[in-house]
Amino acid sequence: MKKDERVTGQEINGILYRFITVKPKRFFGTKDYWVGEAKVTITNPERTLIDGLVAPKYCGDWAEVYSAFESQLSRLDLDKMVEYSTRLDAAVVKRLGWILEKLGVEGSILRRLESVPIRSYRVLN
């Protein structure tokens, strides 16, 4: 393979899997598991949903992301989600705040998200 060529995906059993490159500083919220002799790194539920806010197009779009938040809200560590979102960017923080507000979350979690300044207008998607 030439240096400038990249494998962007691979089809397995009729399903196309795409490879998404993640910068090292954005690689957090994971846990290593052993499957036989292979070590597999998987994101925790909070990080998985934050990734849905970063790039909803890879998660079935906004309806699926919202549905995942709605079905898992009681199981999520919201403090961890606030921490993860602030490690990324203000747009992710605001998207998280929007979803949590729509789902009825109140109090200090929303206040922490509201306190993050945003420097420009960003659309939800």
The ranges assigned to domains in the chain are 9-114
Q: Closest by alpha carbon to 53, among 71, 72, 66?
A: 66
Q: Facing residues of 17 across strands? A: 10
Does the structure show a pLDDT above 80 at 23? Answer: yes
What is the spatial distance between Cα 125 and Cα 107, in angstroms, rounded to a whole number?
A: 25
Radius of gyration of the chain (CA): 17
State pTM to two decimals: 0.83
If you average pLDDT over every residue of the chain, what do you get? 90
The string of pLDDT tens digits covering residues 47-78 is 999 999 999 998 899 999 999 999 999 999 99
What is the spatial distance between Cα 106 and Cα 97, in angstroms, rounded to a whole number?
A: 10
